[in-house]
Structure 1
Amino acid sequence: MSYKNRVLTAIQIDQKVRRIALEIYEKNAEESSIFLAGVWDR
């Protein structure tokens, strides 16, 4: 297995970090919405 293909460019790293950050943000937003829906339900 060659490691040459595994080396990421700065642009690829930036895109990967942004995608992960967006996924975390969306997950937290979903959990907040569910929590608020539960609070309003009572």
Structure 2
Amino acid sequence: MHRSSFHRWRATGRGPQTMRLPNGQVRIRRSDLKNWFDSLES
């Protein structure tokens, strides 16, 4: 998956749930990412 596709999906609410850290970085829980990938397959 291209990075731009992932960021576009995240911006439109179709990506996995993310957390923004105080320094502005974005993090994704591993379990949220796995569940999101699993949902794409179905």
Task: Identify whether the pair has TM-score above 0.5, normalized to the shorter chain.
Answer: no
Greater relative CO (CA pairs within 8 A, separation 6+): 2
The alignment's TM-score, normalised by the length of structure 1, stands at 0.37
- Structure showing the higher helix proportion among its residues: 1
TM-score by length of 2: 0.37
